[in-house]
Each structure stands twice: as C-alpha cells, then as structure tokens.
Amino acid sequence: MNAVNSAQISAPQPFDRKDAGLVLAHILFAFAALLLGGIAGLLQALVRAGMITLPANIGYYELLTAHGVLMALIFTTFFIIGFLYSGVSKTLGGRLLNSSRGMGWAGFGLMAVGTLIGTIEILLNRATVLYTFYAPLKASPYFYIALALVVVGSWVSGFGIFTQYRHWKKANRGQISPLFAFMSVIIMLLWQIATIGVAAEVVLQLIPWSFGWVDRVNILLSRTLFWYFGHPLVYFWLLPAYIAWYVTIPQIIGGKIFSDALARLSFVLFLLFSIPVGFHHQLMEPGISSFWKFLQVVLTFMVIIPSLMTAFSLFAVFELNGRAKGATGLFGWLKVLPWKDVRFFAPFMGMLIFIPAGAGGIINASNQMNAVVHNTLWVTGHFHLTVATSVALTFFGVAYWLIPHLTGRKLTPFLNRLGIIQTVVWVAGMFLMSGAMHISGLLGDPRRTAYTTYNGSAEAASWVPYHIVMGVGGMVLFIGIILMTVNVMLLLRAPKSGEAEEYPIGEVTEGSEKTPGYLERWGVWISIAVVLILVAYTIPLYGMATNPVPGSPGFKTW
Ligand code: HAS
C-alpha cells in the first residue's frame, strides 16, 4: 500500500496532545500577526485614498513596513511551519520525536523573539525600511538582528522536520514517504537554500553597516542577495497551499489524489527552478548584464511549468470526482463540488484567483512588460492576488479543519457559514483593491508611495478614483480580517466533539502509476539545484563582489 494513504484508512485519530500545542502556537501567532498587519494595512489604504491623515507621530512608511513584515514575512512563516509540523506529525508516525518537537519549539521561540524585537523597532520608527529593507535606507541594527533571529529560528524548525523524516525513512526502509511529508521536506529544503542569500545580506552587510563598523554598503550586491531569496520566498508561501490543494482537498470533496508521482515531480521542479531566478525582480536594475537577466528569465519560465502541472492535476481531481458521482456534461463536475463546505470553498477561491494572479507574474517576468509595470501598483496588485488571496484564503480554509482537529472541537454549521461569509468578503475586498491597483499601476501609479497629488499633476489626478476604490477595498478586507479573527476565536471555543475531527489526507486514485523511488533521491535533486544556482549567479555575484564600488552611506529618510 502506498504510504501516502496509510494515515487516513483508520478512523480519524486524535492529534497528539504535545504536538497539538506546538502547531497551535504557530497558527495562533500567525493570526495575531495577520490582525496587527491588517490594522496597518487598513490605515495605509485610507491614507492612500486621501480619506484620512495620520497623526503626526505615525508615518505612512512605518505602517507600510509593519504591514509588509507582519503579513508577508511573519503571518506566512508561522502558519506554514505550524501546518507542516501538523502534517509531518500526522503522517510520519502519528507523533513527533521529542527531538523534532524540541527543535520545533526552539525555532518557534527564536522566531517569536525576532518578531517581537522587529515589530518594536518598526513601531518605534527605527526601521521604516519596508519589508524588503532595501539599503541604503538604514534601520537600527536590532531590526536586522531580529530578522536574523527569524531566519535562524526557521532553520531550526526545518531541521526538526528533516529529523522526523529521516527517522521515518530508517524505520520504513524501501517505502516511499507519505506525500505530505515529502512535500514538507521539499519546502524546507527550498527555504534553507534560499535563506542563505538573505542571511548573507543581513549578517555580512547590513548588521555591520548599521552598527557603523563599516560606513558603506554595496547596494547592488545587497539587493541581489535579497532577491536570490525573495523569489523562492514566494514558493515558500505557495507550496504549503499546494499541499492543501494536492493532499487535503481531494479528501474533503470525497475524491482522490490524481497522481502521487505528478504531485511529487511538480515539487521537485520547484526545488530546482525557484531559486536561480531572482534577477526577474531586478530587470530594470543597472549593473546586471542583460545576458544574466535573460538567463534567469528563461529559468523563471521554467518555474511556471509546475504550476501548470498543478492546475492540470486539480482539474483532473475535480472531473474524476464528478464523473464518479455521475456528473454529466462538460462542466457537470462543478455542480457536485461541496460549495457549502468552507474547508473546500476558501481554498478553491484561492485556486481560481491564482489563474489571473499567476498570469500577472508572467507579465512581470517579460522584460518589455516589466519596464511598464516595475515599481508600479500593478506589482502590488499582483502579490495581493498571489500571496494575499490564493495563499491566504487557502490557509484560512486549512484553519477551519486544522484548529478543530488540534483542539477536538467542532466546526459547527454556524462557524462553517461564517467561514463562507468571510471568504466572500475577502474575495470582494480583494477584487476591488487589487483590481484598482492593477489598473492604476498600468496608468503609471507608483507603488511604495504615500498620498500625494504630485503638485497637482493631471496624471496623478487620474489615479485618484482608483485610490478611492483601493480604500474601499481595503476597508472590506479589514472586515474580512476581523471576521477571520472572530472565527478563529470561536473555533477555539466551539463545542467539544465526541470523536476526532477529520485531518483530511487524500487517497491516491486506484491504478495510478507507482511512484518512482528516484523522486526521493535528495542528493541528486539538491545537486542539480545547486548547479543551476551556480550557473545563474556565480559570475554576476563575483563581478559585484570584486568590482570596487564606492558603496553608499546609510540614509534615514523618516
Ligand atoms: Fe510574483 C513580484 C513573477 C508567482 C508574489 N511576486 C512579486 C512580489 C511578490 C510576488 C510578493 O518576474 C513583489 C515583491 C516586491 O515587493 O517587490 N510571480 C512571478 C511569476 C510567478 C509568480 C512568473 N508571485 C508569485 C506567487 C507569489 C508572488 C505564487 C506569492 C505567493 N513576481 C514576478 C515578477 C515580479 C514579481 C517578475 C517582479 C515585478 C517587479 O518588477 O517588481 C509564477 O509562479 C506564476 C505561475 C502562474 C502561471 C499562470 C497561470 C496559472 C495557471 C495554473 C495555475 C492555477 C492553479 C489553480 C494551480 C503559470 C493557469 C488551479 C485552478 C483551479 C480552479 C483548479
């Protein structure tokens, strides 16, 4: 029997109590960051729309930094690591090794301390450098130390997952690992390799520079190291959502996983191609030759393939599920999907929105079109669809079964309905806000800017209606965040259910091909990934590091 389905054959087993504490701590910390980041997001949307002015001691860019760090870096990382630990505990033996759980708690502690220090530095207006902390904007050294703590904490958590996986493989020689666990290992491998870039930037460049031990910083090198990390960061966000789409959604809809091998291959392709592509965030940047930009754009288009494989696989799951239930007609399979089950509805809306969201990524990655959209609100619209909708809605959908499973409480029909309402509110708010961002971005409206009329420019005046729509969208989204926060709190206080709530792990379709063992040849995949990275980055990075640039002193523009 394929190990992937060993976890769900028996009736749902309650989650191991000690593991539940670790997972729940991560999930609740994530939602606390979402709420705080959402408050900042609401205020900045209202400022942008000209609807409010901030009190003198609160800056727009300070809010923007808080919003980006708490949403893009903290909400995602804590939720993801908690979710991965839950699946690794569930499918690799039913409970974590003490060593794995210990690393999970150590990682959580480091990340939580880093988050608290970083948030305090931001709110004390000592780190108004946005979530990309681009030099030569210079934050307090403690902000960079906080970032380093979050990264090191995530590394420790990653090793906790690797330790559990390795123990399972030793105890199950010759068996292919359960799909959830395999995918978790890929995600944390990708993360460990990608974060080397940002760790090098922060520890070797920004911390000494912010302490004044060196007075200049090589800007191009720091940005290149950041984007070496910055694009795989988006797949660190996306792939846990893909785990929910590949592994749990089939079980929730009463269907089957289309192909275990295809799902694993798509994740291997992400491991190979998601890192050597960072220059597609720097297409307009001087100092990088067009050859290396071109090479990394070609690799960027390679990383699109696993997303297309995922779409194919998901449509196959839905169609086969529908046909098995007697659905007829080209789209009959749509009708039999559990639309009234928020555990399906929220992730599905995330999937659906990922089609235009990802298509926007293809536009971004096309050099000529990037020249139009780079540094405009178009890009902000793009990532509010990708991470803030496709990923966030999927995480919300996961929370509606994960929290009940962890706490032994029920997802009541009332809470399910609240979840459906929250999803609709989120989609409506994002349609307004991201839609307006995309359009005004195409009209040239820059991102990362507070409210301004550009000295009464007619051009800028044409953007104002879109800013108002963004402000309205931001308010609707904030209602969505309040609703999600209330739903999480109600889930924690829901009535106890007699038996364990389901932890949905799908079964593989009968007759699908046996998963080849070579998909777990980690040495091969890591070696190919490293070779691709070396090909894409060695020469340009060598050039940046050895060409004596004057470097820049720090600037505090706030
Ligand atoms: Fe992106 C900028 C290119 C995906 C997030 N992106 C950003 C930023 C963020 C972000 C945060 O090339 C801003 C960073 C900053 O602050 O400056 N992005 C891409 C490409 C993809 C992509 C090629 N991005 C994402 C994902 C994100 C994310 C996923 C978060 C989770 N992005 C860029 C570029 C920039 C950029 C440039 C820099 C712009 C600039 O100049 O600053 C690809 O992964 C997209 C793959 C998607 C497709 C298209 C359609 C998809 C289909 C199948 C998928 C559908 C599925 C669902 C699986 C191939 C058709 C099935 C549906 C059912 C209904 C069953």
Contact in structure between 207 and 148 (CB atoms under 8 Å): yes
* CA 193 to chain CA mean position, Å: 16
**Residue that is last in its domain, among 194, 217, 240:** 217
409 an active-site residue?
Answer: no
Identify whether residues 263 and 169 lie together within a single domain. no
Ligand 1 centre from 73 Cα, in Å?
17
Task: Provide mean pLDDT across the span 119-133.
Answer: 97
Q: For the chain, what is the domain count?
A: 2
Task: Provide mean pLDDT across the span 460-480.
Answer: 96
Contact in structure between 410 and 494 (CB atoms under 8 Å): yes
Cα separation values, 166 from 1, 76, 159, 229, 543, Å: 20, 26, 10, 26, 39
pLDDT at 279 over 90: yes
Task: Provide mean pLDDT across the span 176-198.
Answer: 98
Helix (H) or strand (E) holding 228: helix 219-243
Q: Is 328 exposed, middle or buried (0-12, 13-18, 19+ CB in 10 A)?
A: exposed
Task: Provide mean pLDDT across the span 478-507.
Answer: 93
For residue 517, tell me if it sits in a domain: no
pLDDT at 8 over 60: no
Quote the percentage of the chain above a pLDDT of 90. Answer: 91
Residue 6: which of 92, 109, 100 has the closest Cα?
92
Ligand 1 centre from 307 Cα, in Å?
10
End-to-end CA distance of the chain: 61
3-state secondary structure (DSSP) of residue 395: helix
Contact in structure between 121 and 142 (CB atoms under 8 Å): yes
Query: 447, 467, 478, 503: which one is catalytic?
Result: 447
Contact in structure between 53 and 127 (CB atoms under 8 Å): no
Specify the amino acid at residue 537. Y
pLDDT band for 224, please (50, 70, 90 cuts): very high
pLDDT at 499: 77
Most ligand 1 atoms within 8 A of CB, residue of 318, 364, 389 to mutate: 364
pLDDT band for 549, please (50, 70, 90 cuts): confident
95 an active-site residue?
Answer: no
Tallying the residues shown for the chain, one arrives at 558
pLDDT at 6 over 90: no
For residue 12, tell me if it sits in a domain: no
Task: Provide mean pLDDT across the span 88-98.
Answer: 96
Task: Provide mean pLDDT across the span 249-276.
Answer: 97
Q: Report the distance separating Cα 434 and Cα 431, nearest Å.
A: 6
282 pocket-lining for ligand 1 (C-beta < 6 Å)? no
Q: Report the distance separating Cα 529 and Cα 537, nearest Å.
A: 12
Q: Report the distance separating Cα 201 and Cα 222, nearest Å.
A: 6
Q: Report the distance separating Cα 249 and Cα 318, nearest Å.
A: 10
Identify whether residues 185 and 288 lie together within a single domain. no
Specify the amino acid at residue 79. F
235 an active-site residue?
Answer: yes
**Residue that is last in its domain, among 217, 243, 265:** 217
Ligand 1 centre from 123 Cα, in Å?
30
CATH number of the domain within which 335 lies: 1.20.210.10
For residue 519, tell me if it sits in a domain: no
Mean pLDDT of the chain: 95
Residue 186: which of 94, 87, 270, 278 has the closest Cα?
270
* CA 512 to chain CA mean position, Å: 30
Query: 126, 301, 448, 451: which one is catalytic?
Result: 448
Query: 226, 229, 235, 345: which one is catalytic?
Result: 235
For residue 511, tell me if it sits in a domain: no
Most ligand 1 atoms within 8 A of CB, residue of 379, 387, 391 to mutate: 379
For residue 432, tell me if it sits in a domain: yes
List, in sequence order, every residue forming a beta bridge with 257; answer none if it has no partner. Answer: 508
pLDDT at 485: 98
Identify whether residues 177 and 301 lie together within a single domain. no
Identify whether residues 184 and 302 lie together within a single domain. no
Residue 275: which of 315, 225, 325, 218 has the closest Cα?
225
pLDDT at 548: 76
Identify whether residues 190 and 328 lie together within a single domain. no
pLDDT at 9 over 60: no
pLDDT in tens, 60-88: 999 999 999 999 999 999 999 999 999 99
pLDDT at 14 over 90: no
77 pocket-lining for ligand 1 (C-beta < 6 Å)? no
pLDDT band for 512, please (50, 70, 90 cuts): confident
Identify whether residues 182 and 256 lie together within a single domain. no
Residue 198: which of 227, 218, 219 has the closest Cα?
227
Identify whether residues 299 and 206 lie together within a single domain. no
User: What is the residue range of 357's domain?
Assistant: 251-497+531-547
For residue 518, tell me if it sits in a domain: no
448 an active-site residue?
Answer: yes
Identify whether residues 274 and 361 lie together within a single domain. yes
For CA atoms 335, 337, 343, 345, the dihedral sign is negative
Query: 26, 280, 374, 382: which one is catalytic?
Result: 382
Residue 92: which of 184, 168, 173 has the closest Cα?
168
The set of residues, in sequence order, having a beta carbon less than 8 Å from that of 276 and lying 6+ positions away, is: 296, 299, 532, 533, 535, 536, 537
Q: Report the distance separating Cα 229 and Cα 490, nearest Å.
A: 37
Contact in structure between 474 and 434 (CB atoms under 8 Å): no
Identify whether residues 210 and 271 lie together within a single domain. no
Identify whether residues 539 and 468 lie together within a single domain. yes
pLDDT at 7: 44
List, in sequence order, every residue forming a beta bridge with 555; answer none if it has no partner. Answer: 137
Cα separation values, 18 from 14, 28, 156, 240, Å: 12, 16, 18, 22
Q: What phi, psi does 372 have (nearest 5°)?
A: -80, -40
Q: Report the distance separating Cα 395 and Cα 241, nearest Å.
A: 7
Q: What's the Rg (C-alpha) of the chain?
A: 23
Ligand 1 centre from 555 Cα, in Å?
31
For atom 41 of ligand 1, which residue has the closest CA?
A: 374
The tokens of 542 are what? 């060598």
Contact in structure between 217 and 206 (CB atoms under 8 Å): yes
pLDDT at 11: 57
pLDDT at 4 over 60: no
Identify whether residues 360 and 461 lie together within a single domain. yes
Residue 182: which of 262, 76, 277, 102 has the closest Cα?
262
Q: Report the distance separating Cα 341 and Cα 338, nearest Å.
A: 5
**Omega before residue 136 within 30° of 0, cis:** yes
pLDDT in tens, 393-405: 999 999 999 999 9
Identify whether residues 181 and 280 lie together within a single domain. no
Quote the percentage of the chain above a pLDDT of 70. Answer: 98
- DSSP assignment of 350-365 equals HHHHHHHHHHHHHHHH
pLDDT in tens, 427-447: 999 999 999 999 999 999 999
Contact in structure between 96 and 164 (CB atoms under 8 Å): yes
3-state secondary structure (DSSP) of residue 461: helix
pLDDT in tens, 320-348: 999 999 999 999 999 999 999 999 999 99
For residue 117, tell me if it sits in a domain: yes
384 an active-site residue?
Answer: yes
Q: Report the distance separating Cα 471 and Cα 429, nearest Å.
A: 10
For residue 5, tell me if it sits in a domain: no
**Residue that is last in its domain, among 165, 191, 217:** 217
